[in-house]
């Protein structure tokens, strides 16, 4: 089982490395969108601090949608998915490995990038560690929810816009607890509660999500 996991993970990371622009574009998009807000609004410190957290989280969420369609599309279009499904490899493990690879190339860069961009919103430095921790807990959930959206739309010719409609509403609990944790940290208050809730969401998504993804992909291949 570990063999299958590593084989798929290794392959997907290699492919991501060879088509790195697909994953770099969403990150650039995130940087650009978030830097448009200070330009469009008055760049006062108080206002930036107030809207900063919300802008960062929504920006991260929207930018992650950009890399999402390719999650299963490539394997679907070139027949790899059929071959994987028909192979003796346990399909659930394959799905988990693909989601993990997606998290490595789209989630981890966000965990690093968002706190850096947060500096331009004058977020207090004490909040940055909490922001990174909240992202560490939120991005796996985001990857799983993205995978569900991508799997459900994989047999459609252009699933792009529908994925957003499917995934974004499901992300709202994550957004609420993520911004809440960041705000509490900025005000120097205890942040344990929203972080625990984010962790609970992550456990829920990671344990049950792959089943939904595998089922959706099977239906998509019929």
Partner 1 sequence: MSDEHAGLVADRLGVSRGGRLLIDGLSFELEAGQAALITGPNGSGKTSLLRVLAGLAPPAAGSVTWAATEVRRLAPESRAEIAYRGHLNGLKKDLTVRENLEFHRSLNCSEAPIEELAGTLGLAAVAGQRLRYLSAGQRRRAGLATLKLGAARLWLLDEPLTNLDIAGRRLVAQWIDEHLDTGGMAAIASHQPDQLAGGGSLSIEL
C-alpha to C-alpha distance for 203 and 86, rounded to whole angstroms: 29
Q: Is 222 in the site for partner 1 (CB under 8 A)?
A: yes
Neighbours of 209 (CB within 10 A): 23
- For partner 1, which stretch binds (CB under 8 A), given 6-14, 29-37, 57-65, 158-166? 6-14
Token pair in block for residue 31: 């940087």
Member of 24, 36, 41, 86 binding partner 1 (CB under 8 A): 86
Q: What is the distance between the terminal CA atoms of the chain, rounded to a whole angstrom?
A: 25
C-alpha to C-alpha distance for 207 and 196, rounded to whole angstroms: 16
Q: Is 157 in the site for partner 1 (CB under 8 A)?
A: no
Q: Is 19 in the site for partner 1 (CB under 8 A)?
A: yes
Q: Is 196 in the site for partner 1 (CB under 8 A)?
A: no
Q: Is 13 in the site for partner 1 (CB under 8 A)?
A: no
- For partner 1, which stretch binds (CB under 8 A), given 87-95, 97-105, 189-197, 206-214? 87-95
Q: How far is CA 81 from CA 89, 152, 156, in A?
A: 12, 14, 15
> Would you say 6 or 119 has its CB closer to partner 1?
6
C-beta of residue 93 within 8 angstroms of C-beta of residue 4:
yes
Rounded to the nearest whole angstrom, what is the least distance from the CB of residue 85 to partner 1 in the complex?
A: 7
> Would you say 68 or 97 has its CB closer to partner 1?
97
C-beta of residue 138 within 8 angstroms of C-beta of residue 198:
yes
Neighbours of 88 (CB within 10 A): 5
Token pair in block for residue 5: 């996991």
| Positions of E strands within 11-170 | none
Member of 5, 13, 15, 173 binding partner 1 (CB under 8 A): 15
- For partner 1, which stretch binds (CB under 8 A), given 53-61, 77-85, 100-108, 166-174? 77-85
Site for partner 1 in 37-76 (CB under 8 A): 74
Token pair in block for residue 96: 């988990």
Binding site for partner 1 (CB under 8 A): 3-4, 7, 11, 14-15, 18-19, 74, 77-80, 82-90, 221-222
């Amino acid at each position: 089982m570990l063999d299958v996991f590593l084989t798929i993970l290794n392959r997907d990371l290699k492919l991501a490395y060879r088509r790195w622009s697909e994953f770099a574009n969403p990150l650039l998009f995130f940087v650009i969108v978030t830097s448009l807000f200070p330009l469009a609004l008055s760049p006062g410190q108080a206002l930036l601090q107030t809207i900063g957290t919300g802008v960062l989280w929504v920006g991260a969420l929207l930018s992650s949608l950009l890399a999402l369609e390719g999650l299963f599309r490539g394997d679907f279009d070139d027949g790899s998915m059929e071959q994987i499904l028909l192979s003796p490899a346990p399909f659930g493990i394959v799905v988990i490995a693909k989601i993990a690879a997606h998290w490595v190339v789209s989630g981890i860069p966000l965990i690093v990038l968002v706190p850096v961009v947060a500096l331009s919103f004058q977020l207090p430095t004490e909040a940055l560690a909490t922001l990174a921790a909240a992202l560490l807990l939120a991005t796996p959930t985001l990857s799983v929810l993205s995978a569900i959206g991508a799997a459900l739309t994989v047999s459609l010719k252009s699933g792009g816009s529908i994925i957003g409609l499917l995934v974004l509403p499901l992300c709202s609990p994550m957004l609420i607890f993520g911004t809440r944790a960041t705000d509490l940290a900025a005000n120097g208050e205890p942040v344990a509660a929203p972080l625990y809730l984010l962790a609970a969401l992550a456990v829920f998504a990671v344990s049950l999500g792959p089943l939904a993804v595998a089922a959706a992909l099977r239906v998509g291949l019929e």
